[in-house]
Structure formats: C-alpha cells, structure tokens
Amino acid sequence: MRWNLRMKAAERGIWKSTELRRQLAETGLEISAGKMSALWTATPTTIRLDDLDVICSVLDCEPTDLLLREPDKVAARRPGRSAEAAAGGGAVVAPRLGRNRSMPPA
C-alpha cells in the first residue's frame, strides 16, 4: 500500500503538515507533532480507524484515496514457480510428519 496523504492534502490547498494538524485539531483530533510528521513524511505502519475517519473528513476524501493499492509489489512478493511446476508436472507435496503422527493411508 502507498500512503497518499500529502497529495490529497495538496489537492485541498494544504501544503504544510502544521496546517493539516491545526485543521485536525479543530475537528477534535489532537495529533502530536511527532506523529503528524510521521504521517506526513512516511507510510504509517498502523493508523486508528477513528483517526483515518477524521483525516478523510478534513480532506473531503475516502480512505481509498489515502491508501493506494500496489498490485505490482504484491505480485513481486509471490514465490517463483519451479521449472517442473511451470512445465505442467505440478509440485510434489510431501507430508510433514511430527511426533506421534502416523503415515496417511495409501
């Protein structure tokens, strides 16, 4: 996911994080300067849904405007297929046997 806060803020004429922070405070969301800086400059690892709701209200946008999907990055994370599986042979799955487990029926 890509965090698009600065672009959405710019579309609303908000060019500084302090200005957005002031507008959020006017709606009841008090954010520390450090947290605001982190939201402004980087993609947050977590964000409270209540906070996201207020940010969307101030910026007059939807959560999907702030959180942009990146399907190419998801595809790049998928493990590669083996040459045998790609040739149509399929992957051989061997059971993992733990303690006190019997072999599956033949």
Give residue 74's pLDDT. Answer: 84
Give residue 83's pLDDT. Answer: 47
Give residue 75's pLDDT. Answer: 86
CB-CB contact of 23 with 58 (8 Å): yes
What fold is seen in the domain 2-68?
Answer: 434 Repressor (Amino-terminal Domain) (1.10.260)
Domains in the chain: boundaries: 2-68
Give residue 62's pLDDT. Answer: 96
Give the residue ranges of the chain where pLDDT is below 70. Answer: 80-103
